[in-house]
Amino acid sequence: MLAQSKLLRLRHHHRLLPSRFSPLRRCHSECPSSSPAELTATQAVEVLHQWDFDQLRPFLFEASHHLPQIIVRLNSIPKAVDFLNYLRDKAERPQQALSYAFEGALQLASRHPNSQQHLLMLHTYRKSYLSNISLTAKSAYLLLQCLGKAQMLDDSLLLFNELDPSSTSSLISKLRGLFKSGRTHDALHLLDEMLDDFTGEVVFGELGRRDHRGRDFADEDIVGLVTKQCEHGVFPDAFKLTQMITTLCRNRKNVVAWELLHGVMRLGGAVAVEAASCNALLAGLGRERDIQRMNILMAEMEEMRIKPSVVTFGILVNNLCKARRIDEALEVFDKLKGKGEGNRVGVEPDVILYNTLIDGLCKVGREDHGLSLLEEMKTKKQCRPNAVTYNCLIDGFCKAGKIGKACKLYSQMINEEVKPTVVTLNTLVDGLCKHGKVHRAVEFFNEMKGKGLKGSTVTYTTLISAFCGVNNIDKAMQYFDEMLSSGCSPDAIIYYSLISGLSIAGRMDDASAVVSKLKQAGFGLDIACYNVLISGFCKKKKPERVYEMLEEMEKIGVKPDIVTYNTLVSYLGKIGDFRSARKLMKRMLEEGLQPSVVTYGAIIQAYCLKKNVGMAMMIFEKMCSTSKVPPNTVIYNILIDALCKNNNVEKAISLMDDMKIKGVRPNTTTYNAILKGVRDKKMLQKAFELMNRMIEDACRPDYITMEILTEWLDAVGEIEKLKHFVQGYPAPSPASSQTSISF
DNA sequence: CTAGGGTTAG
């Protein structure tokens, strides 16, 4: 087995000999009469025994590559040597025949029970009498093996140099080192591999294998070695080059990969570099969103006439999309389709390219453009839309809030006989849930189960989050169990969903139980998990459990982040422990964490709760003027509510104007707070104005709004205005119709 | 079955 593979490799090696003679291919086409199959042993021996130069002529010239087999059939080393002498002494010297005959003699020797001695004899014989003939690969291999065994380092190196004058000095010195330290076997192995492929399996194979335990070569050295080989016109094959680049990029060594590819490109150009190798580097650059270098590489490819493939453009378009540079992606795409100046690249877009682009369009909210590409695909035989195409579009329409269109696309998909996948299922389940149609989502899931499609962890995560979101914890737990029994393995995300849902619902005992399950399953809590748990324990006023969590975090090395600090500061503020809050903030700053708008909100709320609205306002103004933290809706809501409750509706109203100036959008909570304030002050006209503004701002009144307004407006006989307001129209009074005209 | 591009969940 081993011998056979070695032989195969050596056969392959022939092309590297100076003659570039390719024996196995030529025999049939050029000299059918002497094909090895037709050459019987007797015939061969007969021919050789006659030693008639004219009769031998075909074997000495056109078909000299058969000589090794013929010599082997002589079955006698002395006879083989005689034949070598005979050839050598001929006036008309057949150099190539001598090379092959010598190979035959070596083969004979290597099969001899005392092979080592006979091989050495032939080596000496060659040195004295045949030094001017070149060696075939097999000859070189056999000789090197025997010299290695004999520890004849100098002869080995001479031979090696003779064979491969371009071999690099670093490889030679490695070889020398191996011989010196007595690792003859390793040295032979190295030689073997270098012979096998002059580009050096050693060099290339090593890079492919090494990752963590990094051996003799640093990546940079490998680049040097490969480049050196290239300088001598020996290039790695496209596959190995690609593999090396992929490995380097995966180890986040884009710079080294870039150098490697450019070394080979500079020395070998399009002869040595194919699109695939460039693709590997492009993908690596894409991972770091380095579009600039990607463009440079594309330009270089064009300059060197390395023909890009459809994958090349796939990588480029994908990364342009991910960088939200969708228009540039479309430009590339149009170029492929030959739009514009007939600038055809000779690459046809395929399904994946279409899908990439459709997904990119959907992700920036241009799903209608995506839809037009879907229609275009249907007209092309080569790129029929597949499940991924529909998945991208369905997700796009779901995220755009057009659940109806998404469902329509699903039926279209079924009509076109494109089989939905589990991703289709998950996308629609998520879309339905996010639109409050959890029940429909469950129905759809059941329908798909009936069709034999199983849910995945993603399906269950979506449903569990949805049921937690509507406070139906029992149903969420039920789906968790179903997931386990259906054979899905839970991951960290699904545990997080449950823990988060239970914590928000205040069911901390259940949340803790899930934490134990999570730990049993071999997962650890991450910072997000700890944060929801801490928040839950804070809400339940269980400081001892909070400290427990914090201690655990410290023990296992999960550092509190700004969310953790905000949660704690907010809790301390609510219980009025300003001293601890201040201490905590000091530590937060020491840890290098900058206060966020949530931190300010927590402090402001704390002062508001203490009825110290003046202090709250001061902090707010300081935040706006000195920090780079822009205020958000929540902060305004806290302040507006507090000002109203403290008899300062005027100031609250001016804050609402401030919001408008700063471009902070009020929400229903904002309006509820201010409406309550103006009601308590019986400012009816102001209430109507605010109601109209609420409609402009697209804030839907909720049950709290109704509670504030109904009784009041009914009492003052303005219930009509409230009816219009609820339907989403401004009240048709003279004062308010003016506002709507100006609007 | 030699490399290289596309979709879902906290």
Q: How far is the CA of A424 from the C1' of B7 (A)?
A: 8
Q: State the nucleotide closest to A493 in CA–C1' terms.
A: B10
Confidence of residue A237 (pLDDT cuts 50, 70, 90): confident
Q: Among A373, A284, A285, A378, which Cα is nearest to A326's?
A: A373
Q: d(Cα A496, Cα A506) in Å, to the nearest integer? A: 15
Confidence of residue A194 (pLDDT cuts 50, 70, 90): low
State chain A's mean pLDDT as an integer: 81
Q: Among A671, A684, A606, A604, which Cα is nearest to A644's?
A: A671
**Residue A332 Cβ < 7 Å to strand B:** no
Q: How far is the CA of A312 from the C1' of B4 (A)?
A: 8
Residues above pLDDT 90, as percent of chain A = 46
**Residue A391 Cβ < 7 Å to strand B:** yes
The pair of three-digit structure tokens given for residue A667, joined into one six-digit string: 């929400």
- Within a 13 Å sphere around the CA of A382, how many CA atoms are in the beta-carbon half? 7
User: Span A303-328, mean pLDDT?
Assistant: 92
Residues 243-272 of A with CB under 7 A from strand B: 243, 246
Amino acid symbol at A606: A
Residue entry with tokens 């995945």: A456
- Report yes or no: A412 and A443 within 8 Å, Cβ to Cβ: no
- Report yes or no: A373 and A359 within 8 Å, Cβ to Cβ: no
User: Span A621-649, mean pLDDT?
Assistant: 90
The pair of three-digit structure tokens given for residue A529, joined into one six-digit string: 């998990």
**Residue A624 Cβ < 7 Å to strand B:** no
Q: d(Cα A355, Cα A357) in Å, to the nearest integer? A: 5
Q: State the nucleotide closest to A276 in CA–C1' terms.
A: B4
- Report yes or no: A372 and A337 within 8 Å, Cβ to Cβ: no
CA distances from A333 to A183, A308, A377, A690 (A): 57, 14, 13, 50
Q: State the nucleotide closest to A392 in CA–C1' terms.
A: B7
Q: How far is the CA of A421 from the C1' of B3 (A)?
A: 27
Confidence of residue A505 (pLDDT cuts 50, 70, 90): confident
CA A393 to chain centre: 22
Nucleotides of B strand lying within 7 Å of any protein CB atom: 2-10
Q: How far is the CA of A176 from the C1' of B5 (A)?
A: 45
Burial A505-537 (b: 16+ CB within 10 A, else e): bebbebbbebbebbeeeebebeeebbbbbbbbb
User: Which residue's CA is nearest to the C1' of nucleotide B5?
Assistant: A314
pLDDT tens digits, one per residue of A333-368: 988 887 655 556 788 899 999 999 999 999 999 999
pLDDT tens digits, one per residue of A665-721: 888 899 999 999 999 999 999 999 999 998 888 888 888 889 999 999 999 999 988
Residues 291-310 of A with CB under 7 A from strand B: 309-310
Annotated domain spans of chain A? 659-743
Q: Largest Cα–Cα distance in chain A?
A: 133
- Report yes or no: A692 and A739 within 8 Å, Cβ to Cβ: yes
Most confident of A3-12, A24-33, A206-215, A729-738: A729-738
Identify which has the larger pLDDT, A167 or A115. Answer: A115
**Residue A364 Cβ < 7 Å to strand B:** no
Confidence of residue A392 (pLDDT cuts 50, 70, 90): very high
Q: Say if residue A186's pLDDT is above 70.
A: no
Q: State the nucleotide closest to A495 in CA–C1' terms.
A: B10
CB-count burial class (<10 Å; 0-12, 13-18, 19+) for A248: buried
Identify which has the larger pLDDT, A13 or A443. Answer: A443
| Cα end-to-end span (Å), chain A | 87
User: Which residue's CA is nearest to the C1' of nucleotide B9?
Assistant: A458
**Residue A458 Cβ < 7 Å to strand B:** yes
**Residue A227 Cβ < 7 Å to strand B:** no
Least confident of A33-37, A276-280, A293-297: A33-37
**Residue A694 Cβ < 7 Å to strand B:** no
Q: Say if residue A22's pLDDT is above 80.
A: no
Amino acid symbol at A468: C
- Quickly list H helices, A401-507: 403-415, 422-434, 438-450, 457-469, 473-485, 492-504
Q: How far is the CA of A319 from the C1' of B5 (A)?
A: 10
Residues 477-516 of A with CB under 7 A from strand B: 491-494, 496-497, 500
Residue A444 confidence (pLDDT): 95
Least confident of A131-140, A324-333, A549-558: A131-140
Confidence of residue A1 (pLDDT cuts 50, 70, 90): very low
Q: d(Cα A150, Cα A340) in Å, to the nearest integer? A: 71
Q: d(Cα A639, Cα A601) in Å, to the nearest integer? A: 9
Q: State the nucleotide closest to A387 in CA–C1' terms.
A: B7
Q: How far is the CA of A222 from the C1' of B5 (A)?
A: 28
**Residue A350 Cβ < 7 Å to strand B:** yes
Residues above pLDDT 70, as percent of chain A = 81
Residues 180-219 of A with CB under 7 A from strand B: none
**Residue A274 Cβ < 7 Å to strand B:** yes
Least confident of A61-70, A414-423, A589-598, A706-715: A61-70
Q: How far is the CA of A253 from the C1' of B9 (A)?
A: 31
Confidence of residue A195 (pLDDT cuts 50, 70, 90): very low
Q: State the nucleotide closest to A385 in CA–C1' terms.
A: B6
Residues 566-605 of A with CB under 7 A from strand B: none
Residue entry with tokens 């988060």: A500
Strands (E), A29-91: none
Residue A460 confidence (pLDDT): 95
Q: Say if residue A543's pLDDT is above 50.
A: yes
Sign of the alpha-carbon torsion through A118, A121, A127, A129: negative
